[in-house]
Chain A
Amino acid sequence: MVTVDRCELRGMAQPLVVTVLFNRHLPGEHGLLRLRVGKVARQVQPGHFVQLICDPRLTLPRPFSVMDADPEQGSVDIFYRVVGEGTRIMASWKGGEELRVLMPLGRPFVWPEEKKNILLIAGGAGIAPVHFLARRLVERGQSAVLVWGIETEAPLMTIAARLDGFPLDVAFVESAEALAALDAVGVSSRLASMTPMAGRFHGYVTDLAEHYLERSSEALRRRTELYACGPTVMLRAVARLAERFGLSGQVSLEERMACGFGVCAACVVPVRQESGVGWSYRKICTEGPVFSLADIAWESG
């Protein structure tokens, strides 16, 4: 149980009224929302999420990871997929619209050591926190590779990246050797999809990640850590990869939430006990959403 009174979370979550700067519609019922949030943008780190009020008539707020934060402009970006009532309302927002948010929430990714090679694995809208982390890693000059499983026909990533002024696919100080090995077997893309698409790896994104790891040198593999966000089935596959290659890593989890700040106990995940025996439910919103891969009791709950 987190004792907020004595920890860094005290007073962290700010209830704010923020303004929509723009809301771009992207292929596959996706959207990119930029919000003017002010000073709080400085505190936002990769892995943090926000609770958005899509409509005051909806009883619950909707949780979204932050996809990017610009401390100078005082803005944050949300990348969303329209899946239901709340996100449909989001898609209708125009620049200038005001809405209520609670942010930042959760505990961010723990920074990897500088000498590590980071394999970032994203599934669908799980790209949001992974993209944010990728950006910060690149800024630091860290070795990192991103693979993304996305079913949308149009090259979503390029669109999102261009909007951002951030050429996601080339900005990495890449672990060139493993990527070259992938190229050699005909996998030149960092995108994967289950439906065959030109220029993309055909299969699960975790299969693409596996190819990468298999083709990495022993030395590179030993330096590699996995950071992932996506559907639970994908994260389970990431956990299996980590086990197979003896790698550690972190995952950002999702579960249905009510409050997002720890009062309702809706958002739980089974986490292994420190003793090593058994598991207990932990709140994703305050103890996560980022957890160490090894801590999740994937087989339980």
Chain B
Amino acid sequence: MSGNVTSLEVRLAGLTLANPVMLLSGCAGFGEELAMVEGFDFSRVGAICLKGTTLHPKEGNPPPRVAETPAGMLNAIGLQNPGARHVAEKILPGILHWPTRFIANIAGSTVDEYAEVARIFDDTGVAAIEINISCPNVKEGGVAFGADPVMAARVVAAVRQATSKPLITKLSPNVTDIRVIARATIEAGTDILSAVNTYLGMAIDWSSGRPILGNVQGGLSGPAIKPAALLQVWRVYEVARHCNVPIIGQGGITCTRDAVEFFLVGAAAIGIGTALFSSPLVAGEIVTGLRHHLEERGLDGPARLTGMLKV
């Protein structure tokens, strides 16, 4: 061990976090639900991304909304949320004083809706705004914003205009070349990238011949997607490193080892989603594990791991 003092603090563009372990959108509710779990310590997580929020309340998809798959799960929640104003006025005041950072995750079916939601959160104490560009663009015929570099850039540019908060763009892996979208959103003004969101998939009940999910298709997450997600982060890093745009790596992380792997392929911070469902306290364990890992190697911070893959 060298004389370096290890600090887990990370600075992601304008966003400073006490540690680089975040809870991912849709897997941590609106923050407050986590208080139900005994031993959950908000000061142990770097940040919590709130559930995807739209301008107007959304009921979401009919159940069943989840299906377990080999080493993973599908979800089709359908962005159930009480609408941006309710979140800003009724929920945030109750949680913002807790000892972590909260990040709004925004969604919309038009460019204007994204901008409007961003304006609402710009007026609140959230630490950053994360744009979920995986939503279908209703106006232009349903193609996901995240699959088209021009549309993705338009959303990011519009949100950039609407807020001075640090901006995270969450990339979809359901594209031919994720680097093209990453580049377009960086040029449009994103400060941070988040990679990756869920992979599209479906689950069938072979005996009844019906899809399991009420929405027929859903998003695949959990350990099943980890190898694919690692490659996507590595690709995004190719583009983002030259622009000093940090990446929040995610996709199937369940333990410290997984987290370290994401740092090695280019992540500056990591996110945990699906693993919370079976281990609500896992983020704290990964923070401890990460500290040990860095200390054993005499590294002064997680940034020393970022992109250190030996190839």
Contacts and interface: CB of A to CB of B under 8 A. Distances in A.
A213 interface: no
A256 interface: yes
Contacts of A262: 29, 33, 36
A281 interface: yes
A256 B75 CA distance: 11
Given A57-B71, A59-B72, A59-B222, A11 B63 contact: no
A275 interface: no
Most chain A beta-carbon contacts within 10 A, residue among B38, B62, B277 = B277
A264 B278 CA distance: 12
Given A261-B280, A264-B277, 19 more contacts: A5-B35, A5-B95, A11-B35, A11-B36, A15-B279, A56-B278, A59-B277, A60-B73, A100-B278, A102-B37, A102-B280, A256-B65, A258-B274, A259-B280, A261-B34, A264-B66, A266-B75, A268-B63, A281-B80
B30 A1 contact: yes
B59 interface: yes
Interface in B30-86: 30, 32-39, 51, 59-60, 62-69, 71-73, 75, 77, 80, 82
B179 to A, nearest CB: 29
Nearest to B29: A263
Contacts of B278: 51, 53, 56, 58-61, 100
Interface in B263-282: 274, 276-281
A51 B32 CA distance: 19
B36 A1 contact: no
A162 B82 CA distance: 49
B35 A4 contact: yes
A15 B64 contact: no
Interface string A1-15: 111111001111111
16 contacts: A1-B91, A14-B37, A14-B39, A58-B68, A59-B69, A59-B71, A59-B72, A256-B64, A258-B73, A261-B33, A261-B37, A263-B276, A266-B64, A268-B63, A268-B80, A301-B63
A188 to B, nearest CB: 37
A122 interface: no
Contacts of B62: 301
Most chain B beta-carbon contacts within 10 A, residue among A11, A60, A100, A265 = A265
Interface string A246-270: 0000000001111111111111110
Interface string B247-289: 0000000000000000000000000001011111100000000
